[in-house]
Structure 1
Amino acid sequence: MSVVIDWNAFLLVFVAALVGACAIVGFYAIGLRLLVRSGRAPVVSPAEFTDAITVITEKDLRRAEKKAAKAAKKSPLTAGEKRLALVGAYGCFALCAAAVASGIALIVIGH
């Protein structure tokens, strides 16, 4: 019994996975940057975790929200530019979701 590896297929899957991962991470990073640029910096409220993770206090959360609101007011962008950045951010997030959904569809349907 001999095992034969199709190296071309292996290389094709490797490149597709690498390009897909870079695209998802890249579009998410650009979307997050555009979201912050539009004046809607995401602030995550504290959650209860195990002792291994430090949880921020309510005071730190309020301070972060205040800092994000202050930074949004100081933005040099006009209202139209902020709206365009927000639309671009949502577009990038939609591309991320489409890439993940198409990958899942390839696994489920293509298999």
Structure 2
Amino acid sequence: MSVEIDWMAFVNVFVAAFVGAVLIVGFYATGLRLLVRAGRIPVVTPAEFTDAITILSEKEIERAEKHAAKVALKSPLSQAQKQLAFVGACACFALCGLAVLSGVLLIVFNH
């Protein structure tokens, strides 16, 4: 009994996974960067966990939100540039979602 491995199929799967990961991370990072440039800094309040995670107090959360609002006001971009950056961020997030969706569809329909 001999076992044969199709190495080209392995390489195809590896390349597809690598390219997919690079695209998803790249689009997401670019989207976040453009979102910040648009003056819409995402401030995420942490969830309450029980073990080994530092929980921010209400005062610290308010301070972070205040700082984000102050930084957004200091942006050197014009209003049109901010809108363009926001549209670019939305496009990057949409491309990130499309990359994930295409990966799921590839798995479901091409097995």
Q: TM (normalized to structure 1)?
A: 0.97
Among all aligned residue pairs of Structure 1 and Structure 2, give the percentage whose two residues are the same amino acid.
68
What root-mean-square deviation, in Å, do the aligned CA atoms of Structure 1 and Structure 2 show? 0.7
2: CA distance, partners of 1:109 / 1:50: 41
Specify the alignment match of 1:15 in structure 2: 15
1:46: how far off? 2.9
Unaligned runs of at least 5 residues, structure 1: none
Aligned residues: 111
1:95 paired residue number: 95
Q: Which runs of 5+ in 2 are unaligned?
A: none
The corresponding residue for 2:52 is 52
Aligned partners of 1:34 and 1:89 also within 8 Å: yes
Question: Aligned letter for 1:76?
Answer: P
Corresponding position of 2:109: 109
Distance 1:49 1:89 in 2: 30
**1:77 aligned partner:** 77
Which residue number in structure 1 is paired with residue 26 of structure 2?
A: 26
In structure 2, how many angstroms separate the alpha carbons of the residues matched to 1:46 and 1:23? 27
Q: What is the SS of the residue equivalent to 2:68?
A: helix
Report the Cα distance in structure 2 between the residues aligned to 1:44 and 1:76, rounded to whole angstroms.
24
Q: Contact 1:46–1:58 at 8 Å: present in 2 too? A: no
Secondary structure, counterpart of 1:51 in structure 2: coil
Taking structure 2 as the reference length, what is the TM-score of the superposition? 0.97
